[in-house]
Structure 1
Amino acid sequence: MRDTILVINAGSSSIKFQLFGLGSGDALDRRFKGQIEGIGGSRPRLEVKDASGKVTCDQVYGPEQAADVKGAQDLLGGWLVQQIDELPIAVGHRVVHGGPDFVQPMLVDDTLLDRLEALVPLAPLHQPNNLAPIRSIRDRRPELPQVACFDTAFHRSHPAVADHFAVPEELYREGVRRYGFHGLSYEYIATRLPAVAPAIARGRVVVAHLGSGCSACAMAGGRSIDSTMGFTALDGLPMGTRPGQLDAGVVLYLMQQGKDARAIEHFLYHECGLKGLSGLSNDVRDLLASDDPRAKLALDYFGYRTAQAIAALASSMGGLDGIVFTAGIGEHAAPVRADICRRCRWMGVDLDEERKADTLPRITTEASAVPVFVVPTNEEWMIARHTLAVVRAKQA
């Protein structure tokens, strides 16, 4: 399997991975995909599917075997060694924060790692886990090329007015600006729209990436114009455990109540969002199944704020030609999508109530002035494509 690219997408509680073979003309042919989920929980689980979608591995481990990302990496590494005869030509990684300087995928070296480490305070939930497998592989196989692909890079096409906060300019020059995240997902959707929704592909589209982390992106002509996320991955839409848009005065209040920076950071990243509002769960599936009024409030709030964001992003583009839902909630939680669409009815969204199947890309009627589509994302494919381009450029 020498002509392969391995992609690792490490998060706070899971590690997703895919292995791609190189076909004719460097076409990417997925060999398998999988993830270790439940890291740090009571039943960490490794599931792998082959190219046809057939489950080839479904293994549950003891909690001590994947108590943290490093332990999960060791499990994954052991499984991969058994499956891959030869090293891949490169490993591609998702790195959430690239800061103001990194606007394209980069070949990893010690200098780059140190600079990315300095950005950990801006993405404490993600950046350390993104960098951990890079360091682990670098220690064990220093000769193996690794490529960092940044979630912020796709948004560097924003106009200045979209990237600034209303703070003194010297802070902007120091890097205090709106970055936007989930860029690899949005970039993938931009590559898919010409095939699945050609009528809107070059138009003004709001893409809602709704998962454990949530954001929405205004895309015009396939380029990012604006995004709901800002300086960190806390801003914008409510998320599983993060609050989204929040008055900075709330943070000042928490400080005045005696909470230090570490306690506030933990609170904002782990105790808010759907979990905090419902008091029940950060999982939309649990909330949809519950008859607790707090669950309904959390879901109502999620739909309310998401519809507001879609309207605001449409304003950024001067109009709206289409909406796309993607990621876990966007792809699978039909009741949540329906609620958001109904809240956008005034913009010309006419939800087709008869279309129940998640496999249908379009979920609005043919008469809808603003068509809405469900398009599965594939960040790992995007990372593999970038990784291959960087490796080929080095070989040239």
Structure 2
Amino acid sequence: MADVLTLNAGSSSLKFGLFELGGPGAEPAARILGEIDRIGNGTQMRARTAEGAVLADAPLPPGDAADHAGALAHALDLIARVRPDARIAAVGHRVVHGGPDHAAPVRLTPEVLAALARLEPLAPLHQPHNLAGVRAALAAFPQAVQVACFDTAFHRHHPWVNDTFGLPRAYYDKGVRRYGFHGLSYDYIAGRLAGLAPHLHAGRVIVAHLGNGASMCGMIGGRSIASSMGFSALDGLPMGTRCGQLDPGVVLYLMQHEGMGAAEIADLLYRQSGLLGLSGLSHDMRELEAAGTDTARQAIGYFVFRIRRELGGLAAALGGLDALVFCGGIGEHSAHIRQKVCEGMGWIGMELDESRNLGSETVISTDLSRVRILVIPTDEEIVIARAARDLVTPPG
């Protein structure tokens, strides 16, 4: 039986999975699921079988996974030890940026890989790691089909007004447009919602993917209508180390009056801002919630404020709201953030059930709430595995 390996590199994490393929169209069966978190600073590795048996749950030696390449080496070593008989027929990669031309998964060829490398400046925290994973997988599994699954693909059917900026049209034609990200997560949530509550899936839904990277997406009928992220993965909500929405005049000021160059500004906006910059303490919401300092509370307050502001804007873009879905590490695990986001939102039809929220139940709204509020754990790995399956074993 053939297997699919999935690789999903975040800005500070690497998720990996080994899936067994059945026949054409059969759901890939998870065998190993793992994550290496906090890469470069207190790195942790966790892995389990699909049945829940723990394969790894411990810190990695300091410096042993200082970057994504080191983390990937640990993941491949674990898979080789646990499943030495694995036959990797395909490797599915999360690739954050697909540009304007990729609206579906594709086989990776040298030409496609070169084109994706040219997009690295648009997603510098992710794209280089994604493509490093591709190159490592090509070396480790040269006979396997390599498949790219794009975070931007889910948003490629945005209405034009949600896809453009107020710049001369020539820039749009060159690719300067709103792309949106976290599409694999939104794709999975849309599919889960179709099974859990078809009437909500058919309606107006906002999904809040809240983690070290954070964004929100407004959907109608499971299709993206608008997203908080734009040209790059900087826009919209503040994140672990990324600034979120920013007046472009700030960038001009930094250049003209602070004497900062492009590299310094990129480092500031991508790596020194967001929760880390606001708190002066940490990019990790778990640490900020535990800290209880004034700056930690202010950082959390700004994070919540921006979520609520995007919520109102996306509801307007959708023409109303039928459901709000929380997902991502913060969205799935922080009852406090969910409570603060939903607090006082009766005007839009949202009423949170405190007990359900504390228990992280699937539905955390009250029975009388007009807008349903849900917590649905996302699963980008199965989306990647399905895409790889379809390209290595086409129907028929």
TM-score bracket for the superposition, by shorter chain length: over 0.9
Equivalent residue number for residue 31 of structure 2: 31
Letter in 2 for 1:191: G
Tell me the alpha carbon deviations over residues 145-181 of structure 1, each in whole angstroms, 9 at most, x when there is no partner: 1100000000011011110100000000000000000
Q: Return the alpha-carbon distance in structure 2 between the equivalents of residues 183 and 291 of structure 1.
A: 33
Q: CA deviation at 1:5?
A: 1.1
Residues 304 and 343 of structure 1 are in contact (CA less than 8 Å); yes or no, is this contact kept in structure 2? no
Q: Is 1:316 aligned to 2:280, yes or no? A: no
Q: Is 1:12 aligned to 2:11, yes or no? A: yes
Q: Return the alpha-carbon distance in structure 1 between the equivalents of residues 365 and 57 of structure 2.
A: 37
Q: Return the alpha-carbon distance in structure 2 between the equivalents of residues 19 and 141 of structure 1.
A: 14
Q: Is 1:271 aligned to 2:272, yes or no? A: yes
C-alpha distance 79-96 of structure 1, shift in aligned 2 (>3 A): same
Q: CA deviation at 1:343?
A: 4.4
C-alpha distance 200-290 of structure 1, shift in aligned 2 (>3 A): same
Equivalent residue number for residue 182 of structure 2: 182
Equivalent residue number for residue 213 of structure 1: 213
Tell me the alpha carbon deviations over residues 192-213 of structure 1, each in whole angstroms, 9 at most, x when there is no partner: 0022233311100000000001
- Give the TM-score normalised by structure 2: 0.96
Equivalent residue number for residue 57 of structure 1: 56
Residues 339 and 357 of structure 2 are in contact (CA less than 8 Å); yes or no, is this contact kept in structure 1? no
Q: CA deviation at 1:300?
A: 1.4
Tell me the alpha carbon deviations over residues 214-242 of structure 1, each in whole angstroms, 9 at most, x when there is no partner: 10000000100010000000000111111
- Give the TM-score normalised by structure 1: 0.96
Q: Return the alpha-carbon distance in structure 2 between the equivalents of residues 137 and 52 of structure 1.
A: 26
Q: Is 1:341 aligned to 2:349, yes or no? A: no
Q: Return the alpha-carbon distance in structure 1 between the equivalents of residues 124 and 204 of structure 2.
A: 33
SS in 2 for 1:335: helix
Q: Return the alpha-carbon distance in structure 2 between the equivalents of residues 82 and 360 of structure 1.
A: 36
Q: Return the alpha-carbon distance in structure 2 between the equivalents of residues 331 and 373 of structure 1.
A: 10
Equivalent residue number for residue 284 of structure 1: 285
C-alpha distance 104-263 of structure 1, shift in aligned 2 (>3 A): same
Question: Which segment drifts farther, 208-217 or 139-148?
Answer: 139-148
SS in 1 for 2:242: coil
SS in 2 for 1:100: helix
**What number of residue pairs does the alignment pair up?**
393
Letter in 1 for 2:2: D
Equivalent residue number for residue 154 of structure 2: 154
Q: Is 1:132 aligned to 2:132, yes or no? A: yes
Q: Return the alpha-carbon distance in structure 2 between the equivalents of residues 300 and 45 of structure 1.
A: 28
Letter in 1 for 2:349: G
Tell me the alpha carbon deviations over residues 309-357 of structure 1, each in whole angstroms, 9 at most, x when there is no partner: 0111111111111110100111110011011111432101111123244
Q: Return the alpha-carbon distance in structure 2 between the equivalents of residues 241 and 344 of structure 1.
A: 28
Q: Is 1:243 aligned to 2:243, yes or no? A: yes
Q: Return the alpha-carbon distance in structure 2 between the equivalents of residues 129 and 358 of structure 1.
A: 35
Equivalent residue number for residue 197 of structure 1: 197
SS in 2 for 1:16: strand
Q: CA deviation at 1:248?
A: 0.4
Tell me the alpha carbon deviations over residues 360-396 of structure 1, each in whole angstroms, 9 at most, x when there is no partner: 1111111111111011000001111111112223x86
Q: Return the alpha-carbon distance in structure 1 between the equivalents of residues 88 and 372 of structure 2.
A: 41
Letter in 2 for 1:225: I
Residues 333 and 360 of structure 2 are in contact (CA less than 8 Å); yes or no, is this contact kept in structure 1? no
SS in 2 for 1:349: coil
Unaligned runs of at least 5 residues, structure 2 = none
Unaligned runs of at least 5 residues, structure 1 = none
SS in 1 for 2:215: strand
Residues 88 and 141 of structure 2 are in contact (CA less than 8 Å); yes or no, is this contact kept in structure 1? no
Identity %: 50
Residues 16 and 75 of structure 2 are in contact (CA less than 8 Å); yes or no, is this contact kept in structure 1? no
Residues 242 and 270 of structure 2 are in contact (CA less than 8 Å); yes or no, is this contact kept in structure 1? yes
Letter in 1 for 2:48: K
Q: Return the alpha-carbon distance in structure 2 between the equivalents of residues 341 and 64 of structure 1.
A: 41
Q: Return the alpha-carbon distance in structure 2 between the equivalents of residues 204 and 98 of structure 1.
A: 26
C-alpha distance 159-302 of structure 1, shift in aligned 2 (>3 A): same
SS in 1 for 2:11: coil
Equivalent residue number for residue 80 of structure 1: 79
Residues 216 and 310 of structure 2 are in contact (CA less than 8 Å); yes or no, is this contact kept in structure 1? yes
Q: Return the alpha-carbon distance in structure 2 between the equivalents of residues 243 and 83 of structure 1.
A: 40
Letter in 2 for 1:362: V
Question: Which segment drifts farther, 357-366 or 170-179?
Answer: 357-366
